[in-house]
Amino acid sequence: MAIAIPVLPYPAMPLLADPPPWNDANRPQGRPERVGQSVLGHPISLFNPAPANLLLMGGVHGDESEGVFLAHLLLATGCALPLIPCLNPDGALLRQRWNARNVDLNRNLPSRDWKPEPLNPRYPPGSAPGSEPENQAFFAALARVRPSMVLSFHSYKESFVEIERPPETLPAAINRAVATFTAAVGIERRPSVGYPTPGALGSFAMENDLLVFTWELRRGISHGELYAILPQVLAFVTELNRHRFVPPPKRP
Ligand SMILES: [Zn+2]
């Protein structure tokens, strides 16, 4: 099925949680739901707030605006899946990785491996697991959507999709969807980013029966390049959302 992509009047890079007003006319799902607010009081919005298998999220790291822009493009093309375009609006405004309290939101999640001391000064985990209001907004979105899968958009020096759960624990249809997508956009599937990430979404997901896809977009990928792969992205997320991930039984 061909996916019609409207021509967009490109604004400057959107930095806030709410997309620019040119989205409103095309969005049948109504206003987003406010699931929380940032340290500085900026709203954190969940678009298409309804139960679904897949939750999409961008902007966990404020200096990774590639994923925020992709999220806005998805909304503009009528993507009806639940989506948080920007979990860290303060970081986006400040153009920094961390939130306004200089916490790395992707090290602050309440997983068993959370530690008060950062493994690296670049990754401050916050004062307590789940302490940051942006992550509380994420928890509110999880409660609202009740997804079995989360696809989070980040950016890195090279592009890949990271899935910490081994392929043999995933439904074949999900492995096929990942293989089709990664081949279509020319990137790899990887089992891990390659270094320990306590308090990150991957650890949290393993303990909370979620399947997480972390898509590292190539750092600095242009709006035009993102625009060009939108049909593949839409096909991928639509296919993923057709399946419900059920985790394998836990070992006692
Ligand atoms: Zn990131």
Q: How far is the CA of 64 from the centre of ligand 1 (A)?
A: 6
d(CA 246, CA 30): 31
Q: Is residue 6 predicted with pLDDT exceeding 70?
A: no
Q: Give yes or no for a contact between 163 and 212, defined as CB atoms under 8 angstroms apart.
A: yes
The residues that bridge with 33 in the sheet, in sequence order, are 46
pLDDT given at position 252: 65
pLDDT tens-digit readout, 155-175: 999 999 999 999 999 999 999
Round the average pLDDT of the chain to a whole number and report it: 87
Work out whether strand 43-46 and strand 33-37 pair parallel, antiparallel, or are unpaired.
Answer: antiparallel
Q: How far is the CA of 3 from the centre of ligand 1 (A)?
A: 29
Q: Is residue 12 predicted with pLDDT exceeding 60?
A: no
pLDDT tens-digit readout, 113-152: 999 999 888 999 999 999 999 999 999 999 999 999 999 9
Q: How far is the CA of 154 from the centre of ligand 1 (A)?
A: 4
Q: How far is the CA of 1 from the centre of ligand 1 (A)?
A: 32
Nearest 5°: the CA angle 28, 136, 55 is: 40
Q: How far is the CA of 150 from the centre of ligand 1 (A)?
A: 15
Q: How far is the CA of 252 from the centre of ligand 1 (A)?
A: 33
Nearest 5°: the CA angle 209, 127, 47 is: 50
Q: Is residue 45 predicted with pLDDT exceeding 50?
A: yes
pTM of the shown model: 0.89
Taken in order of first residue, the domains within the chain and their CATH numbers are: 29-240 (3.40.630.10)
